[in-house]
Structure 1
Amino acid sequence: MAFDTRNGSRGARQPRGRLLIWANRLMMRRIRRGKGGMRGGQALVLRTVGAKSGEERQSPVAWFPGEDGSWLICASAGGAPKNPAWYYNLAAHPDRVSIDVDGKTVPVTAEQLHGDEREAAWQTITSSAPGFAEYQVKTDRELPVIRLTPRT
């Protein structure tokens, strides 16, 4: 399915700047060592190809178990009005994605969920991490839910 979530007109302030870059690097090191989590849950390092630059980008992201060994992630940006940059990278190159999780790098394909599939995944996410429901209240965009499926 298409990556088609538009930015909203209201939401929480999205963090930015050198402090965020430093914190993300620290979190990614911790995740790769098996010691990192986000909001009390599990985290992975999402490796994408920049939509405009074509360069590799890396972002720490909370994940939730999906069906058949897939990973569910949410492009919440903490309830900001805009989608995170990695969302647009996934949209541009959904088949050029990999993740660092459980001490290994796994090539994956990204797919945005819609309709009943999205609702079921959203229930999985919010039951495990109620903070994501709070993010949804902060913004007027529907938070995108993405399934990452291992490539063979």
Structure 2
Amino acid sequence: MDFNQQIIDTFRANGGEVNEPMRFGKSLVLVHVPKKDGSIRVAPLASIQDGGAWHVVGSAGGSPKHPAWVFGLRRTEQVDIEVPGDPVKTLQAEVEELTGDERDALWARFKELSSGFAEYEKTAEGRVFPIFRLSA
């Protein structure tokens, strides 16, 4: 089974808590990203919840290229997201890409959430990781 599908299945089966195959706890959301062909990709993404919004980062594990879902979020104004709860809830969220100081402040919070994010900067060849606010 594909790694992302394992994460998605675990998320949905455990009220949004994922501790296997990696320890995410309840910091994930599932984002239903529209693709160019009209289909939907479900992407499990680390998130920071703040004031009724979830923030996700296009880190792609430190790749020099953006993950494909970034382009889908840039093409749309709204997406469905699945958030932790008992049961998991699906919400419609407005999409906003953050810039400047606001983006930088959230990036600092992601690095506090996991030291892995700081490590990604070393392999991304200077790529700035996009951060999106998903407001329900």
TM-score by length of 1: 0.77
SS in 2 for 1:119: helix
**Per-residue deviation, 1:138:** 1.2
1:24 aligns with 2:10: no
What residue is the counterpart of 2:82 in the other structure?
A: 100
- Bigger relative contact order (CA 8 A; separation at least 6): 1
Letter in 1 for 2:30: V
Superposed displacement of residue 144, structure 1: 0.8
Correspondence 1:49-64 to 2 at 5 A: 49-50=34-35, 52-64=36-48
CA distance in 2, matches of 1:73, 1:124: 11
CA distance in 1, matches of 2:130, 2:118: 12
Matches of 1:119 and 1:81 in 2, distance apart? 18
Q: Confirm or deny that 1:112 pairs with 2:97.
A: yes
**Aligned-residue offset at 1:71:** 0.7
SS in 2 for 1:107: strand
Q: Does 1:90 align with 2:73?
A: yes
CA contact (8 A) 1:39 1:129 kept: no
Q: Which ranges in structure 1 are unaligned for 5 or more consecutive residues?
A: 1-18
**Secondary structure, counterpart of 2:5 in structure 1:** helix
SS at 2:44 equivalent: strand
RMSD: 1.5
Distance 1:82 1:121, change over 3 A: same
State how far apart, in whole Å, the 2-side matches of 1:83 and 1:53 are: 19
Query: Hey, what does 1:9 align to over in structure 2?
Result: none
Among all aligned residue pairs of Structure 1 and Structure 2, give the percentage whose two residues are the same amino acid. Answer: 35
